[in-house]
Each structure stands twice: as C-alpha cells, then as structure tokens.
Amino acid sequence: SPQNLSEEFAEAARQLKKEAPRIQFGKIDVTHQHDLRKEFNIREFPTVKFFVDGSKEDPIDCKGVRQASAFITWVKRRIGPSTVLINSTDEAEAIINADDLAVIGFFKELHTDSVEVFCETARDVPEMPFGMTASEDVRANYGIQKNTLVVFKKGKPVHNEVLEDGRQNKLDLTRLIKTFSLDLVTEYNLETSVKIFDVPVENHILLFTPMNLETFSAIYENYKSAAVEFRGKIIFVLVNTNETRNGRVFEYFRIREVDIPAVRILNLTSNAKYKMPADEVTVENLKEFCQSYLNGKAKLHLSSEEIPEDWDKMPVKVLVGKNFNRIVF
C-alpha cells in the first residue's frame, strides 16, 4: 500500500543519512502542489524520482521498489558501481550463496557494450545481488566460454543468457531476470498477485482449471514445459477454479464451468484478451498460441452472450457481441 511504501522510503532515508549524507530525501504531497504534479507529470502514487547533480531535468524514475533495503541498493547503484567485481571463485560463491537469487556476468574483458548493458540492468534490479568477472579461472570453474549472464537460484545456475554486443537491451534483460522472483508457473492468489504485477512483463497467460481434475498433473506439466520457452516474455499463471476467492477473475474473463480447463492471454497495457484456439492443453498447442500472440497473429477474444432467439422481433433490435458487427456494420 502507499502507506507501507512511504514507511519503507522513510526507513531507507534514515539508513542512508549515515551511509551517504550527500543524498537528500524529500516528500511532496501533490494534492497541494498542483504545479509540481503537472511539471513532473505525476500520474500514480507514490512516485519516486531521483534528481542528479542539482538538475530538475530528466530525473530518474525509481519503479517497482517496495522494500527499504531495495531502495538503499537502488540509490547506491545509481551513485556508485552497480555490480561487485569478482576476482576469485570464492568471491563468486560468496555472492551466489548469500541470497535466494544472484546474477553473475562472466566476461572475457570488462570494456564492451554488453558489460555496459549488464551494469545498467543491475541498477534497475536492486532486489538481487549482481557480480561480474573477467577472470579466466572463475569462468573455467563454471564451464563458461562466452560472455554470459547466469542467474543462480539457491546456489544453483537456473538460466544462462549469452550476451552479444548490440543484441540485448536493458529492458529485455531486466524483464527476464525479474521473472526469476516468480516460479515458472505461479498460482494466483492475493499474496502472489502483488508479486506477479511487480514483474514488468505485460503479457500474462492464465490456465483456468480445478486442481482436483483427474488430468491436472499432466496439464500442469505441459503448462510448465511451455513456460520455459517464454520466460521473460509471458508470465504463466495458474488459476484454481475451485477457489471461490478467484471468482472475480473468472468473471473478468467470462469463464464458465463448461469452458474449463481454459487458457487465455491478457495484455496488461491494452487489456486485450485472447483465447487459445485449441481445447487440448498440450505443450504444442500452448507454444503455438504464445508464439502467434507474440507475432501479433492471435485473434482478439471478445466475450459475448448468445444471440437471443427473438432479437429481431421488435422495432428495437437486441444486439450482443456475436451479432453486433454483422447487424451494425
């Protein structure tokens, strides 16, 4: 909540006062400061902006940061190095095992475009420790030949991304790395919904199914297999249709008992919904659906009631989604 965020922000300010006294923290109530709200185009609350070198021009937005510790890391990475330089395997292991998640960049040399993109990405993902190395010994220890970003989860490598100059951009890498704070498939509930919306990926695929369905484990495995390929591009969500608290989600997607198991894709920016054309939840069908969506070929799904039998009887015709275009246009 905004209240919590305000408290975390204040806590970060308290801690940084000792560590980095050059950084000033301020709070503005834009309900009374209309001019400032307009000048900086503030649309959502709370908004955190970082002003550098006393300039009002182009402040840096601090988005998706909720904890005081992450605020502190975010600020420190803005004013100092954003990654730890690793010179030995011991140093690498210390970072990898210190937290649930860690991101390490293995490079042949430290003055390339891909190193710069890696460091920029680190600035935007303050929730995770980042390290980088150009040591041949360290690379050899992890069996890495090319310039590679590796995500470690609970001390084990879970993803390798080869970095080539000019091929990756900061936003794609940020999205990819942030998805590792979620499981491959995340079951939707009040707690996880906050985490799901925190990850800056606007495409969500939802599988609606009762979890006591006889074929559930097979369907779930298929869903997980498909998720691997689209990590960083589409977030895979599972909605348990037996959970009454999920009722609003079914309503929003107009999912009925007869439809389940059902698969839908939602674009958060446009709120456009897409229905998987095939009924069978197979790896093949899921991959085809996701790919056609990403290629812009998927058909928009417009939920509609059935056409009433007597829609044409009276002078005023009854229109629903299914006959609207045909009759009106």
The predicted structure's pLDDT at residue 64? 79
Are residues 7 and 39 located together in one domain of the fold? yes
User: 156-162 and 262-267 as β-strands: parallel, antiparallel, unpaired?
Assistant: unpaired
CB 135 within 8 A of CB 185: no
Residue 320 forms part of a structural domain: no
Residue 158 forms part of a structural domain: yes
Are residues 226 and 163 located together in one domain of the fold? no
Are residues 191 and 175 located together in one domain of the fold? no
Residue 324 forms part of a structural domain: no
Residue 323 forms part of a structural domain: no
Residue 228 forms part of a structural domain: yes
At 189, which CATH number? 3.40.30.10
Name the residue range of residue 7's domain.
2-79
Are residues 187 and 290 located together in one domain of the fold? yes
Q: How far apart are CA 235 and CA 179, in angstroms?
A: 8
Interhelix angle for 68-79 vs 113-124, to 10°?
A: 150
Residue 312 forms part of a structural domain: no
How many structural domains comprise the chain? 3
The predicted structure's pLDDT at residue 303? 61
Are residues 268 and 256 located together in one domain of the fold? yes
Task: Tell me the average confidence (pLDDT) per consecutive run of 10 residues in the chain, 329 residues long.
Answer: 82 89 86 87 85 87 86 91 96 95 96 94 94 96 95 95 89 94 93 88 96 94 97 96 88 84 93 92 97 92 71 81 66
Residue that has been written with the tokens 């608290």 in this structure: 245
Q: How far apart are CA 278 and CA 238, in angstroms?
A: 18
Q: Which residues contact 147 (CB under 8 A, 6 or more apart)?
A: 105, 106, 107, 108, 112, 114, 162, 163, 164
Q: How far apart are CA 56 and CA 53, in angstroms?
A: 9
Alpha carbons within 13 A on the beta-carbon side of 77:
25
Last residue of a domain, one of 112, 147, 179: 179
Q: How far apart are CA 20 and CA 8, in angstroms?
A: 17
- DSSP secondary-structure letter at 300? B
Last residue of a domain, one of 79, 99, 127: 79
Residue 156 forms part of a structural domain: yes
The predicted structure's pLDDT at residue 6? 85
Residue 143 forms part of a structural domain: yes
Last residue of a domain, one of 128, 148, 179: 179
